[in-house]
Amino acid sequence: MKTLAMVLALAVVALAVGSPPVAAEQKLAQTGMKFLSVGTDARFSAMANGVSAIESGSPSAVFYNPASMARFDVTARAAVGYTKWIADIAHYYGAIGISPADGDWGTFTLFYQYVDYGTITGTIRSAGGKGYLDSRDVPGLDVKPSGTVFGLGYARAISDKFSIGATVKYAMQNLGDATVDYTGGNATMVNTTANVLAFDLGLIYRTGFRSLNIAMAIRNFSREVQYAKENVQLPLLFKIGAAVDMVELTEGEKRESSVLVTVDAEHPRDYQEQLRFGTEFVYQNLLALRMGYVTGLEEEGISLGFGLMTTLGEAPFGLDYAYTPVGPLGDVHRLTFNFAMPR
């Protein structure tokens, strides 16, 4: 088992090494399907998404590090969420994790994400007075772009220290019909739908020193996708991270209240490296207060949030909220509901 874990760890590192280094010639902000980089879960987003080393009980973790789902403590857990993104863009997602046979077969996770970009007014050039035509003149020019991803994840604890996970997902983005040529008064229209299979890999290592975990993950590994005339790459991301409960670190035992501290170092394909810091204070397994900070982004910095935990009958239930100010682009709000089926 240890040999297998080391092989998987080396595979993750090898994939990361294969990604483009940050250098003078790096093409920043030139990847497609950027919605795959948007944090979905309110709990994790309140911690600036620096959560790759958390062994989470929420199936939302499959969007961050698939290995986080390995040590599932319930038979099944579901999560649904909504993000009010910038420019009135709306993100919706759902995930359900199932751990059959008391976890002996690992954890399987089904997940889905949908992005509604709203309606964009379409225009074409015209020799008329105003120089263009829109949907009032030519019905059907307006477009309603959308993005969709769904997939399957699997995670397993292969020893008392190592957890591994992987996902395969199908991503699609529909940007509607676009004009790529306008000659002699005739518009050449093409459909700009693109789709691709992508993969995520993850590893979490329990150091054995109190609750300290370290992790590695790679997300959105795929071939290039083609739109109308251009080929683009997905937002490949490699990250390493650590997480520790400060209460357990100082007092040497697990208590009902905790102070979780996390940090992730990220190497995106299309941006400079970033550090993401998060903290979560949980009181009596009832109330959670969270804060996060990310470096290297001009508009985004601090994130805040809270969570409420309770039970419906014997089933755990949770509500999480996150708030992220994005400068002149506005504020981002996230809401997530979690439900569980105990063993």
For the chain, give every domain's residue range.
Answer: 2-341
Q: Which CATH class is domain 2-341?
A: mainly beta
pTM: predicted TM-score of the whole model, two decimal places? 0.85
Residue 83 has pLDDT above 80, yes or no: yes
Range with the lowest mean pLDDT among 126-140, 226-240, 321-335?
Answer: 126-140
Please provide residue 88's backbone torsions phi and psi, each rounded to the nearest 5 degrees.
60, 25
Residue 36 has pLDDT above 90, yes or no: yes
Q: Encode pLDDT of 86-106 as tens digits.
A: 988 999 999 999 999 888 899
Query: Which of 238 and 19 is assigned the larger pLDDT?
Result: 238
Residue 204: the pLDDT is: 97
Residue 13: the pLDDT is: 46
Q: CA 262 to CA 241: how far, in whole Å? A: 7
Percent with pLDDT over 70 in the chain: 86
Residue 26: the pLDDT is: 53
Q: Encode pLDDT of 291-318 as tens digits.
A: 999 998 878 889 999 999 998 877 889 9
Residue 202: the pLDDT is: 97
The one-character DSSP state at 60 is G
Kindly give, in sequence order, each residue whose CB lies less than 8 Å from that of residue 340, ignoring residues fewer than 6 positions away: 57, 74, 76, 77, 78, 315, 316, 317
Q: For residue 333, what are its two tokens? A: 């709000």
Residue 203 has pLDDT above 90, yes or no: yes
Residue 44: the pLDDT is: 97
Q: What is the mean pLDDT of residues 285-293?
A: 95
Q: What is the mean pLDDT of residues 157-166?
A: 95
Query: Which of 33 and 298 is assigned the larger pLDDT?
Result: 33
Residue 103: the pLDDT is: 81
Q: For residue 190, what are its two tokens? A: 């093409």
Strand pairing partners for 63?
Answer: none
Please provide residue 217's backbone torsions phi and psi, each rounded to the nearest 5 degrees.
-155, 150
Residue 52 pLDDT level (bands cut at 50, 70, 90): very high
Q: What is the mean pLDDT of residues 107-133?
A: 85
